[in-house]
Amino acid sequence: MSWEVDEQLGETTASLVVVPVSVGSFAQSGISLQSNTGATKTLTVEPDGAACLYKSLVKGESPQIQTTVPTIMAGLECSTVSRLAWPF
The per-residue pLDDT for range 27-79, each reduced to its tens digit, is 887 777 666 666 788 888 887 777 778 888 888 887 676 666 677 766 677 77
Using CA atoms, how far residue 51 sits from 14, 34, 60, 73, 74, in Å, is: 26, 22, 14, 13, 13
Structure confidence at residue 60 (pLDDT): 86
- Could you tell me which residues come within 8 angstroms of residue 82 by beta carbon, excluding any fewer than 6 positions away? 23, 24, 25, 28
Which residues fall within 8 angstroms of residue 84, CB to CB, at 6 or more apart?
Answer: 24, 25, 28
pLDDT at 10 over 80: yes
Contact between 30 and 57 (Cβ < 8 Å): no
Could you tell me the pTM of the whole model? 0.67
